[in-house]
Amino acid sequence: MLNIFLLPLAILISYIFLYDEIINKTNYVITSTGYIALVYLVITLSLPLLKNNSLKVKTRLFGISAFYFSMIHFILYVIDNSYDLVFIMEDALFRNYIIVGYLALILLIPMYLTSFKYFKDKIKEWKKLHKIIYVVYFFILVHIYFIIKADYYYLILFSSIFLVIIIFKRYNIYKLNE
């Protein structure tokens, strides 16, 4: 947890305060925490594909950290709007990227909870439940799509990664069945 969550967070925070080239600091942290969360989701999806047991242990930590970064991403958005609930509600109702952002965030919660033994014991089907990650990833792609003004470079990049991961998983299942 130290290496995967706290260290990147510390680097990000010190970067903003020590490096004076970042002009719009709040926007920068909001955007970076969002992208870090997405990259962590990519890692969470890809690590099991490597079939390396020592790395598999880390999968859970990356998943949990992805949730923490999304939460920071969301909390900063609330702070950035001065905790103004009317404004935040209006955003949630009228802005597409905010709506899908909430959907992705809410769907992360059951996965986060069932990462802990207490809930794993209660919900035996937790492994099936974790398939929601694909839906979350899809919502994040839509979230990015709605916020991009014109340059779809990052959307294409993360959509391609998503496709490659899905193809690999399908291929693995196919091989197992043979």
Partner 1 sequence: MSKYCLKENHVTDEKLFNQRRAIIKSSLAFSLLTFSNLLFSNDKKLIFSKDMKYSTNEETNTFKQITSYNNFYELGSGKRDPMMNAEKLNTNDWTVSIDGEVKNKVILNKDDFINKFPLEERIYRLRCVEAWSMVVPWIGFELNHIIKLAEPTYKAKYIAFESVYDPENLPGQKRNILAWPYREGLRLDEARNPLTILSVGLYGRILPNQNGSPIRLIVPWKYGFKSIKSITKISFVEKMPDTSWNLEAPNEYGFYSNVNPYVSHPRWSQKRERRIGEFRKRDTLMHNGYAEHVAQLYEGMDLTKYF
Binding residues vs partner 1 (CB under 8 A) = 21, 23-24, 26-27, 80-82, 87, 90-91, 94-97, 146-147, 149-151, 153
DSSP output for 105-148 = HHHHHHHHHTTSHHHHHH-TTHHHHTTHHHHHHHHHHHHHHHH-
With CA atoms as reference, report the closest residue to 101 among 52, 129, 139. Answer: 139
Tell me the closest approach of the beta carbon of residue 12 to partner 1, in angstroms.
Answer: 17
Question: Smaller CB distance to partner 1: residue 113 or 155?
Answer: 155
Tell me the closest approach of the beta carbon of residue 14 to partner 1, in angstroms.
Answer: 18
Question: Smaller CB distance to partner 1: residue 82 or 177?
Answer: 82
Question: Smaller CB distance to partner 1: residue 27 or 160?
Answer: 27
Beta carbons within 8 Å of 116's beta carbon, 6+ residues apart: none
Beta carbons within 8 Å of 149's beta carbon, 6+ residues apart: none
Question: Smaller CB distance to partner 1: residue 90 or 121?
Answer: 90
